[in-house]
Amino acid sequence: MEAKSAKIRLYVDHPLGQGQSIDLAREQAHYLFGVMRLAEGAAVALFNGRDGEWLAKVAEAGKRGGRLECIAQTRPLQMPPDLWLLFAPIKKARTDFIVEKAAEMGAARILPVQTDFTNSERIRQDRLQAHAVEAAEQCGGTYVPEVAELQKLSRMLDHWPADRRLMFCDEALADGAPARSGLPDDPAASERGTSEPWAILIGPEGGFSEAERARLHALPQAQAVSLGPRILRADTAAVAALTLWQSSRGDWR
């Protein structure tokens, strides 16, 4: 649901500020001047994940490069809540999709994890990071979540931060605890102005192993949540869990 007359929004890895000048890489110049046909003087919205959104204009347009100039800040940096999304990588297209959705939905960090039933031994971290950037460009966000390298879930749980709560979606609860009762509203969180650190863990196809399930249920920071009576694919479960969290404790309130 982008705006119909969407101006171009571009992520740049460059400081943004009053009078700041940004030299464009060849690919960016090709996109802006070759594909999008922008001329000198045209407006572009820029963000870098740190300095908010800036209105910039094309100062020089070339085939192999170009230069933009910052004019004014149009939006301050809006940080998402302190929410991590942990997920077990699945088929390529659906993994891309989970990263895209996590960025749109406002996760602060995206952590691919290897579980007992995860098929994937490796991920292309750079490609997934590029998907997160593209999703931030599309959704109007001023922040880009970092995509971490693949880590073993067991190792992460060994060193799980004492103050970070963990919501995990347990299929075995499908006919049990309802979705919201596991995650009550926390009005105090918005009064405090900062949200508690949380993480959401989405299991792989095949679910968690018995050992993982026992370990998760024993973790004091962990909270099991059910996502209804049907079995959701991992990508659907990721969006559903992010929705439940954002609407009860995050920035959708």
Give the footprint of a copy of itself on this chain (CB under 8 A).
1-4, 78, 101, 104-106, 117, 138-141, 169, 171, 178-180, 185, 202-207, 226-234, 236-237, 239-240, 242-244, 246-248, 250-253
Distance (Å, rounded) from C-alpha 236 to C-alpha 163? 28
- Among residues 20 and 74, whose Cβ is nearest to a copy of itself? 74
Between β-strands 109-114 and 146-147, what pairing exists: parallel, antiparallel or unpaired? parallel
CB of 240 to a copy of itself, least distance (A): 4
Q: CB-wise, 19 or 193, nearer to a copy of itself?
A: 193
Q: Which residues pair with 44 in a beta bridge?
A: 56
Quote the least distance from Cβ 16 to a copy of itself, whole Å. Answer: 19
Question: Do the Cβ atoms of 61 and 26 come closer than 8 Å?
Answer: no
DSSP for residue 143: -
Beta carbon of residue 197, minimum distance to a copy of itself (angstroms, whole number): 19
- Return the structure tokens found at 21: 């000048």
Nearer to a copy of itself by Cβ, of 59 and 179: the residue is 179
| CB 218 to a copy of itself: min, Å | 21
Burial class (CB in 10 A: 0-12, 13-18, 19+), 4: exposed
Residues forming a β-bridge with 73: 54
| Beta-sheet pairing, 66-75 with 21-24 | antiparallel
Which of 29, 110 has the CB closer to a copy of itself? 110
Contacts of 17 (CB under 8 A, 6+ apart): 51, 54, 70
Smaller CB separation from a copy of itself, 30 or 217: 217
Look at residues 78, 98, 82 and name the one whose alpha carbon lies nearest to residue 141.
78
In the chain, the amino acid numbered 250 is G
- Choose between 89 and 141: whose C-beta lies nearer to a copy of itself: 141
| Shortest distance, position 18 Cβ to a copy of itself, whole Å | 25
User: Minimal distance in Å, beta carbon 137 to a copy of itself?
Assistant: 11
